[in-house]
Amino acid sequence: MTETNDSSVVIQVKGLRKSFGDHEVLCGIDETIHKGEKVVIIGPSGSGKSTFLRCLNLLEIPTQGQIWIHGQEITGPKCDVDSLRQRMGMVFQHFNLFPHMTILENITLAPICKKGMTKTEAINKAKKLLDRIGLSEKADTYPNMLSGGQKQRVAIVRALAMDPDVMLFDEPTSALDPEMVGEVLNLMKELAVSGMTMAVVTHEMGFAREVGTRVLFMDSGIILEQNKPDEFFANPKHPRLKDFLSKVL
């Protein structure tokens, strides 16, 4: 089942296609993400970058193509998708915290259900994580008492509680007030520094330049260009990318 024996490969995508009805959103994507890479995906809206990210943990079922996570084919018939998902954290644009649970319960739910942790273990771990983002005193409050930035940081920590080895970020700062973007990006930077493998869909070019190890430009369902961040921003080759960068930078 393994496409490659290279153990540094975390995610491998081959010929990925996705259509919604007659509309083809992803038109054949091949991509390999190695351990420790921070891949930033940018592109105009509707270019398929979110769909691409969501295919990686099978929130969208690909129409065609194959995806391997740690050498296991997630698109294959016998894959235990739930257990693979436990190793891939995902952060959403709209946070998707569980509104009926306290912050602590949000973080401990999956570790208790899935990792067989006892309640006390999970709570201790959650408290440590909350400490790290400076929100310990919010542990017993409900999500709607937090600001957007706080919610998103809790969402990141909730994913981290499962000890994932990849983190997927789907426009994590797009729904935030401008003044709250910084705190979320800072947490993501910390995470990047700690060596986490990350795939980030974002419109934050500064983040892409500073944190990314590789930047992908997607347009109409394909990866048009990719490069190291310096080269990518200083020296774009494809006219579509030049046009895009001239508008957003």
Partner 1 sequence: MSIISDIYSQFYAAFDRTFLVDDRYQIFLHGIRNTLIITAGALVVGVIIGVALAVAKVYYYQTGPFSYKESFKNFLKTKRPIFLGHIFQKLLDQLITCYLILFRGTPVVVQLMIWAFVVFSTTNELIVAILGFGINSGAYVAEIVRAGIMAVDKGQTEAGRSLGLSAWQTMWHIVLPQAFKNVLPALGNELIALLKETSIVGYIAVVDLTKAAALVRARTFDAFVPLLCVALAYLLMVFLLSIIQQFIEKRLQASDRR
3-state secondary structure of 145: helix
Burial (CB count <10 Å: 0-12, 13-18, 19+), residue 67: buried
Distance of CA 159 to the CA centre of its chain: 10
**Helices 148-160, 178-193: crossing angle, 10 deg rounding:** 20
> Of 23-31, 82-90, 216-224, 238-246, which segment contacts partner 1 by CB under 8 A?
82-90
> What's the count of helices (H) and strands (E) in the chain, helices before strands?
9, 10
Q: Which of 12, 50, 51, 57 binds partner 1 (CB under 8 A)?
A: 57
Judged by CB under 8 A, the residue of 96, 213, 220, 227 near partner 1 is 96
Confirm or reject binding of residue 20 to partner 1 (CB under 8 A). Answer: no
- 239 in contact with partner 1 (CB under 8 A): no
Q: How many CB atoms lie within 10 A of CB 186?
A: 13
Q: Rounded distance, CA 72 to CA 78, Å?
A: 10
> Among 99, 116, 178, 239, which residue interacts with partner 1 (rule: CB under 8 A)?
99
* Min dist. Cβ of residue 96 to partner 1 (A): 4
Nearer to partner 1, 114 or 228 (CB): 114
SS3 196: coil
- Report angle CA 223, 224, 227 to the nearest 5 degrees: 90
Whole-angstrom distance, CA of residue 159 vs CA of residue 87: 9
Our CB check for partner 1 shows the closer of 122 and 223 to be 122
DSSP-derived pairing of the beta strands 9-20 and 23-34: antiparallel
Binding window for partner 1 (CB under 8 A); candidates: 121-129, 157-165, 222-230, 232-240: 157-165
Which residues from 110-149 bind partner 1, rule CB under 8 A?
110, 113-114, 142-145
Binding partner 1 (rule: CB under 8 A), the pick from 88, 129, 154, 166 is 88
Per CB under 8 A, the list member of 100, 116, 235, 249 interacting with partner 1 is 100
Question: From the list 5, 23, 82, 235, which residue makes contact with partner 1 (rule: CB under 8 A)?
Answer: 82
| Count of chain residues binding partner 1 (CB under 8 A) | 31
Q: Would you tell me which residues interact with partner 1 (CB under 8 A)?
A: 57, 59, 77, 82-83, 85-90, 92, 94, 96-101, 109-110, 113-114, 142-145, 155, 158-159, 162
